[in-house]
Amino acid sequence: MKIHQQTNRCGRWNTSNLDLERVFFKFSPEAEEQFKYYIQNLGDLKNYNRNLIIIKSDFPKFESELEMCRQEIDHGQRFVILESMEGLAFDEIQMSCWIISNLLGTPLAQDQDGKRLIHIYDRDKTKRIKDGARYHQTHESGAIHTDNVNVLESWDYLLVGCVFPAMIGGENIIVSALSVHDFLESKAPDELAVLRENFWWEYRGISNNLYQAPIITYNKAGEPLFRYLRTYLESAHKKAQKPLSDKQIQALDALDATLNMSEFQIKHRLKAGQILVANDKQILHDRECFVDYPDSISVEEKHAGGNGILCRSLERTWVKKQEKH
Segment near Fe ion (CB under 5 A); pick from 145-153, 212-220, 255-263, 289-297: 145-153
Regarding beta strands 79-82 and 283-287, do their DSSP bridges make them parallel or antiparallel, or are they unpaired? unpaired
The residue (of 99 and 159) whose beta carbon lies closer to Fe ion is 159
- Give the x-and-dash track for 162-201 against Fe ion (CB under 5 A): ----------------------------------------
Distances (CA, A) of 24 to 68, 69, 129, 196, 276: 12, 10, 31, 33, 9
- Report d(CA 184, CA 195) in Å as an integer: 10
Q: Nearest approach, Cβ of 55 to Fe ion (angstroms)? A: 30
Q: Which residue is nearest to Fe ion (CB)?
A: 147
Query: Residue 214: which of 187, 181, 186, 262 has the closest Cα?
Result: 181
The residue (of 147 and 292) whose beta carbon lies closer to Fe ion is 147
Segment near Fe ion (CB under 5 A); pick from 33-41, 140-148, 169-177, 257-265: 140-148
147 part of the interface to Fe ion, by CB under 5 A: yes
DSSP code for 311: P
Question: With contact defined as beta carbons under 8 Å apart, do 298 and 315 qualify?
Answer: no
292 part of the interface to Fe ion, by CB under 5 A: no
280 part of the interface to Fe ion, by CB under 5 A: no
The residue (of 110 and 298) whose beta carbon lies closer to Fe ion is 110
Number of residues forming the site for Fe ion (CB under 5 A): 1
Site for Fe ion, residues 84 to 103, rule: CB under 5 A = none
Q: Nearest approach, Cβ of 147 to Fe ion (angstroms)? A: 5
Residue 274 Cα to chain centre, angstroms: 13
Bridge partners (DSSP) listed for residue 275 = 82, 161
Give the CA dihedral 125, 143, 276, 41, nearest 10 degrees: -30
Binding site for Fe ion (CB under 5 A): 147
